[in-house]
Amino acid sequence: MIKINGFIGLVFLLFTLLGGLMLTQVKAEELAPPSSDALQMAGAKGVFAFTPVDWQAGETTWWLDSDGVAPDVAGCHIGTDEDGNVNGRMFGEACLTDVVLVESNPGKGVVHAHSNDTGHPDQFDCLKWCKASGNATGRCEVASAPPCEQSARCVCQ
């Protein structure tokens, strides 16, 4: 256990903790370029590493995307084997904020591998995506995408 001596020690501890939080926040914001399917789409921010709740460390897993890269459609990422046979795993798309959508990829119906059971979905700015489509506003909204219990999509107005 660390013993803090007086005010200087407390200031040092707070500085260290805040510095660590800021570093974590910066790393969380780092994105790789958008997927090839999203690259030319308005609002595409880039991809990031994502592991499902039932993550299988070290395993190559197979997935099927129900909607492809379609920010206005709530999609479901469905677990399969290499031949496309459904195995009961799944996760939906999600809203990171009121305007940022997590959009699974690649194309609709494409069976693809996730090395180390880690996917790389795109992030979309729904406001930018909607404005490029001629709308005044856009936001991320939770929506249904069976068989996933919950998903999300960009809604434009």
pLDDT digits (tens, 9 = 90+) for 110-149: 999 999 999 999 999 999 999 999 999 999 999 999 999 9
Nearest to 75 by CA among 101, 44, 55, 56: 101
Q: What type of residue sits at position 130? A: C
pLDDT digits (tens, 9 = 90+) for 46-97: 999 999 999 999 999 999 999 999 999 999 999 999 999 999 999 999 999 9
Backbone angles phi, psi at 53, to 5 degrees: -55, -40
CA distance 154 to 128: 10
Task: Fill in the DSSP letter of residue 32.
Answer: B
Exposed/middle/buried for 154, CB within 10 Å: 0-12, 13-18, 19+?
buried
CA angle 154, 143, 70 (to 5 degrees): 40
Q: Is 115 helix (H, G, I), strand (E, B) or coil?
A: helix
pTM of the predicted model as reported, rounded to 2 decimal places:
0.79
pLDDT band at 29 (very low <50, low <70, confident <90, very high): low
Q: What type of residue sits at position 63? A: W
